[in-house]
Structure 1
Amino acid sequence: MTQPPQPPNEPPQGGFGAPQDPPPGGFGKAPEPNNPSYGYPQTPPPAQPPTPPAQPPTPPQGQPNYGYPQAPGTPPPGQPQGYGYPGQPNQPYNQPTQPYGQQAPYGAYQQPGTMPMAPQAGAPGGSGGSKLSSQMKIIIGAVVAIALIVGGGVFYASTQKDDTEASSEGSTGGGKGGEGEQKGGGDEQGPSGPGTEKVPANTSATVSMQLPQPEVPKDDVWSIKGSWLTEDVYAKAGVNKIVGYDPSDGKELWTLPLAGQTCAGSREVTKDGIVAVAYEEGKRKKKGDHQTCSQISAVDLKSGKSLWTETIDEGSMKARVQEVTISGSTVAAGSSAGGAAFDLTSGDHLWEPTPGEECQDEGYAGGEQLVAVQKCGDYGDEKLKVQLLDPKTGDSKWTYPVTPGVDNAKIISTRPVVFGQDTQEITASGVTDAFSLDDQGKLRAKISLPDGKYDHDCEVNVIYACTSLAVGNDKLYVPTRQHDGGGDGYSQTNEIIAFSLATGKTTGDRADAGEDGEMFPIRMDGGNILAYKDAGYDKGAQVVSINGKTMKETKLLETPAAESVGSAISGMVPKSNELLYTDGMLYLGKELISKPYSKDEKEYTALGFVAQ
């Protein structure tokens, strides 16, 4: 197939259009997502099952009828009802309720974790649907049963806004389009309202940035966590610094030196362009020379200046910071000492959790509201609590006790509050059950996400770092694992499906990736779902807006279809790393870097694309 024209500024060899020349000796082949030695996803990628063989024209007698037409609401023999299988008309899908395991151990490259956390059990999911009549089966005809699977992760997205200064949408972009431009996702919107993202005049994107990876010591992994995208700046953490770039063309705007490497960054950007970052107290001089991640700063993205720097005491030492978040005018930091909060503007120390009954805060999730996960009890006998806090005082507004015996909890959304847990056994996803709470902290519903059916990821040892999930329209949007797409028997596809936060059951809302495609949510845009879509070999990746009411898909951006571009994007592993979109601009960044495998091919820490 003839390749489309290459992006401008393309070098004669290597790369695919970097505006700058890479430094010598620092590049290598883009890491393969399933290679255990590549060094940046927080959780080791789950083992992928082999692709099912193509089905024969007629299934053997008495064998499971996977891939063959079946009546709606009838999954393959032995397969639980629901999770993408068509249900009876006008009936919600149902879910199995069996528990699954706890989070897998953290990789050796990560700093030592805190004591494990515990998830919770809730109301069981629905039972199987009623049977269809023979007449209805004939009318409905062939409906392909889909074997769905799970990987790991969650992306936060709020359903509404309040008057706080920080919004979780800021880190992923909530940009504005020009006058007269069409809204993404069509005319109808979901219950959460219209989105702000517009359809560009030309959705075909050009390369705005490809940031070469710096030198990294052999057999070591360095953290460069943190990237933020607004209409005016794309900021990316590097080795001992944060650099701001013009998002339209990738030109460097400013550089902020840091004492050491970043280890955490807020998902939020305030309306004034302020973010929070945590970084090591000194520079690494050799392999394994990891410094304590004790420094917390607020950074002004417009000027590239640090507003203040603070630490948290842990006895005579400085506490190790694990994550930072912003809610309103408060920066909350989860640490080995149990956390603390600071004023966003001045850095004044606002509050620390008061230990009681051997309890300490495990971490915080910000944005629309501030939510904490608190752990009480001794190791092996922990009891977890999910709490809604007043950001200014740290006082608890309500507490939801997590069922004893589970040792992890991940905040998926802070408004409404939705949290997840790995239950009983070890899985790679981080969330096999999700729970929605009401405004008083009471359980609304339990959503079962069995391991092997859905594809999301939650980082271990922190509570607010799930990707590929979105919450909006009183629903949880989840991507299924890739499965046989039919056609020639070799294609793979997946879907994004919705679960009701009120009932815990699937709603019937569904967006299909298409043959040889894969898609997952980035975030919500009002009542629309912004999703990343990989259309397969020799096609560009896309950002699409999915209407929250009709599930109609509208393309917002498409990257060049050149093989070199696709290879570079694949090396970024978009599902597991930093992926930001706003106002026709798509930026991908790595969180961890390691020494390249080869000097012959280029490796990047950030890629940018801009719709024309």
Structure 2
Amino acid sequence: MKRWLSICGVLIVVASVGSWFMWGGSPAANDAKSSNVPSSARQAPDEVIKADGKIPVNPEARMAVEYDDKKLKSSESSYLPGSWATAKTFAMAQGSTLTGYRFGQWDPVWSTRLSGAICSTTRHVTVDGRTAVVAQSGRGGKVNAKSACNSLVVFNVNTGKKMWEVTLPHSDDAYANNMNVTLTRGVAVTAWGSGSAAYDLRQGKKLWETPGRETCNDSGFAGGRDLLALQTCGSPGDDTSYRVQKIDRRTGKPEWTYQVARGVGATYLVSSNPPVIAVAAGADSVTDLIVLDAHGKHRSTMALGVDRYVTDCGGLLFGTVESCHSVIVGSRQVFVGGKGAVEDLFTDRPANSITAFDLDSGKPVRKFKSKARRPMYPIQTSGDQLLAFRASNDGRAPAAVVRIDPKTGTERPFLLFEMPSSPALGEPESVDMTVSHGRVFFRLKEIQGSSKDNDTGLIPGAVGYESAG
């Protein structure tokens, strides 16, 4: 297997060179030099790391890390609820186990088993490599609906070491389908529908807790630069309403409150700074994005319509509040991928595009069209640039992550690579895509057991790429 990967890496480089020149020009070496110093270097160790802005020296890629499951039977499935990347390590969660990999090494360098199955994760990582998960208190590798998710664990992504672990208060009814955990500056915060609690990230000391109320309960939080709380008010059904609050992370006290219009079917937290929420008004899926100002007042509304864009909000497990991973919020614009019809994959028409909405007006200001038969999805922002994944469906051109200048629409290659045979690794609804320190990572949210015609018995679960130059 290792020998095959080495050969594959060489082939990727060779195959990618031609496509690189098709973009016209080199990958801006001066740009790379100026961007290789992570912005996180100016942050405190326990702050949530920002997009580092590092640009690969060359866009031709080699495989940096790979996870293939070897144990699942054809009738089984397994969730991969979270993954994280630092400059040194890629780590992922599966069942009750956390596993870390060094880049260029195919065997794990550390493995940490928790007390029970992992119920919820956060995408945020601190500058010094810490993140948080919530696990069940009982033994076992699968999520059990009867076992409470009441163990909050903070660990180091680079080493797998548990920094601290606490039992959440009054959390007997905390389960994987209502659990949420996030990080903000120096604080880990979690909510489970009928309660919430916050802990000092360094010491594990409880800062505050909010027991369940009869009126409005904390459904979850969005972290990062600031801390937003989504509260569900009233009884389930037609009487349910939602409100969003900005929370002082050290005291738990609200700084402002925004009342979501009644009649909205579901509400999600997209971003804490700037504050952006997604709502489903009169439909099952997200129909609008609402932008608030620094004081919690309405700033703009972005009308998405019904089933026109890929928002990837919600889910049955592993966090349903801070979960709109396909809606990318920048400093001036919000980027959302458009849905393409299935039949478009077999024509010369673009199967997808990305639309940029202005934060102040809420109006679409630019559309970035994909190439023929090449679906394209936004991943994240890096400085003032948008990073987007472009799949390869023609069997010739490599898959790519590209940098797009929102002002001009100019596109440059970030990394070019050959994806594994699993088609789900290129679908935004099925996979979590992350860019960190000039590397690109894909992690399936759920993997299925191997079919009989799979000769290798290996089931792709996660893969990462880095510059070969």
Residue 256 of structure 1 corresponds to 112
Local SS of the residue matching 2:59: coil
Distance of aligned partners of 1:530 and 1:275 in 2 relative to their CA distance in 1, 3 Å threshold = same
Q: CA deviation at 1:224?
A: 2.6
Find the counterpart in structure 2 of residue 589 from structure 1: 443
Number of the residue aligned with 1:559: 417
Alpha-carbon distance change, 163 to 11 in structure 1, aligned in 2, over 3 angstroms? closer
Contact kept in structure 1, 2:328 and 2:381, CA below 8 Å = yes
2:362 to 500, 504, 510: 504
Is the CA contact 2:385–2:403 (under 8 Å) kept in the aligned structure 1?
yes
Is residue 166 of structure 1 aligned with residue 47 of structure 2?
Answer: yes
SS at match of 2:422: helix
More strand by share: 2
Q: CA deviation at 1:249?
A: 4.0
Give the match for residue 383 of structure 1.
Answer: 241
- Does residue 412 of structure 1 match 2:412? no
Name structure 1 gaps, 5 residues minimum: 1-6, 18-160, 176-195
Aligned to 1:480: 338
Cα–Cα, structure 1 residues 487 and 364, in superposed 2: closer, same or farther, change >3 Å?
Answer: closer
Using the alignment, how far apart are the partners of 1:546 and 1:275 within structure 2? 29
2:433 paired with 1:439:
no
Matches within 5 A, 1:450-529: 450-460=305-315, 462-483=320-341, 489-507=347-365, 509-529=366-386
Partner of 1:578: 432
**How far did residue 208 of structure 1 move?**
2.8
Worse-superposed segment, 360-369 or 253-262: 253-262
Alignment of 1:51-66 (within 5 A): none
Q: For the residues of structure 2 that align with 1:497 and 1:223, how far apart are their CA atoms?
A: 31
Residues of 1 paired with 2:181 and 2:143: CA distance? 26
Q: State the 1:449 CA deviation.
A: 0.6
Distance of aligned partners of 1:263 and 1:357 in 2 relative to their CA distance in 1, 3 Å threshold:
closer
Paired amino acid for 1:580: T
Structure ID, larger Rg: 1
Matched, 1:10 2:10: no
Asked if structure 2 preserves the Cα contact closer than 8 Å seen for 1:363 and 1:374, the reply is yes
What is the deviation of 1:357? 5.2
Amino acid at match of 2:113: P
Change (3 A) 1:168 1:596: farther
Structure 2 CA distance for aligned equivalents of residues 512 and 8 of structure 1: 37
In 2, Cα distance between the equivalents of 1:473 and 1:551?
17
Kindly provide the amino acid, as one letter, of the partner of residue 48 in structure 2.
S
Q: Aligned runs of 1:93-104 on 2, under 5 Å?
A: none
1:325 partner amino acid: T
Residue among 220, 229, 234 paired with 1:363: 220
C-alpha distance in structure 2 between counterparts of 1:223 and 1:290, whole Å:
18
Whose RCO is larger (CA < 8 A, sep 6+)? 1
- SS of residue paired to 1:10: helix
Within the candidate set 325, 334, 341, 2:191 is matched to: 334
Cα distance change, pair 255–224 in 1 and its aligned pair in 2 (3 A): same
Residue number among 239, 242, 245 corresponding to 2:95 in the alignment? 239
Does residue 536 in structure 1 map to residue 417 in structure 2?
Answer: no
1:28-177 equivalence runs, <5 A: 165-167=46-48, 169=50, 174-175=51-52
Give the TM-score taking structure 1 as reference length. 0.64
Structure 1's 258 and 304: CA in aligned 2 closer, same or farther, altered over 3 A? same
Hey, what does 1:546 align to over in structure 2?
Answer: 404
Q: Which amino acid aligns with 1:528?
A: Q
1:518 is displaced (CA, Å) by: 1.2
Task: Name the counterpart of 1:271.
Answer: 127
- Letter of the structure 2 residue corresponding to residue 375 of structure 1: T
Structure 1 distance, partners of 2:247, 2:323, is 19
Correspondent of 1:345 among 185, 195, 202 = 202
Determine the structure 1 residue equivalent to 2:164: 308
1:314 positional shift: 2.7
| Native 8 Å contact 1:311 1:318 kept in 2 | no
Taking only the aligned residue pairs, the percentage that are identical comes to: 27
How many angstroms apart in 1 are the aligned matches of 2:310 and 2:330?
A: 18
- Provide closer, same or farther for how the CA distance between residues 525 and 469 of structure 1 changes in structure 2, counting only shifts above 3 A: same
- Conserved in 2, the CA contact under 8 Å of 1:324 and 1:331? yes
Query: Paired residues, what number?
Result: 428
Q: How many Å separate the matches in 1 of 2:4 and 2:350?
A: 32
- Report how far residue 309 of structure 1 moved: 1.1
Which amino acid is the alignment partner of residue 409 of structure 2?
A: M
Q: Is the CA contact 1:410–1:458 (under 8 Å) kept in the aligned structure 2?
A: yes
Residue pair 1:311, 1:319 contacting (<8 A) in 2 also: no
Question: Is 1:399 the counterpart of 2:253 in the alignment?
Answer: no
Distance 1:585 1:285 in 2: 30
Offset at residue 197 of structure 1 (A): 2.4
Provide the rounded CA distance (Å) in 2 between the counterparts of 1:488 and 1:267: 35
Per the alignment, residue 606 of structure 1 pairs with 462
The CA deviation at 1:456 is: 2.4
Change in CA separation of 1:495 and 1:164 when aligned onto 2, cut-off 3 Å? farther
Question: What's 1:203 paired with?
Answer: 59
Q: Distance in 2 between matches of 1:243 and 1:223?
A: 14
SS at match of 2:243: strand
Q: CA deviation at 1:504?
A: 1.3
**Partners of 1:287 and 1:501 in 2: how far apart?**
39
- Equivalent-residue separation in structure 2 for 1:286 and 1:278 (angstroms): 14
Would you say the 8 A contact 1:294–1:319 is kept in 2?
Answer: yes
Q: Does 1:215 align with 2:96?
A: no
Instruction: Report which of the two has the higher share of helix.
Output: 2
Distance apart, 1:447 and its partner CA: 0.8
1:449 and 2:304 are equivalent in the alignment: yes
Comparing 377-386 with 435-444, greater Cα deviation is found at: 377-386
CA apart distance, 1:267: 1.2
Does the CA-based 8 Å contact 2:441-2:462 persist in structure 1? yes
Residue 218 of structure 1 and its aligned partner are, at CA, apart by 6.5
Letter in 1 for 2:200: D
Instruction: Tell me which of 293, 304, 309 is aligned to 2:149.
Output: 293
Taking structure 1 as reference, are residues 549 and 300 closer, same or farther at Cα in structure 2, changes over 3 Å only? same
Is the CA contact 1:540–1:566 (under 8 Å) kept in the aligned structure 2?
A: no
Q: Flag the 1:162–1:390 CA change in 2: closer, same or farther, 3 A.
A: farther
| Superposed displacement of residue 575, structure 1 | 4.5
Q: For each residue in 1:98-123, what CA deviation from the matched residue of structure 2 results, as whole angstroms up to 9, or x when unmatched?
A: xxxxxxxxxxxxxxxxxxxxxxxxxx
Q: Deviations over 1:217-265 (max 9, x none)?
A: 7755433311101111111113321111113444532211212222221
C-alpha displacement at 1:541, in angstroms? 1.2
- The TM-score, its normalising length taken from structure 2, stands at 0.83
* Distance in 2, Cα, partners of 1:353 & 1:11: 50
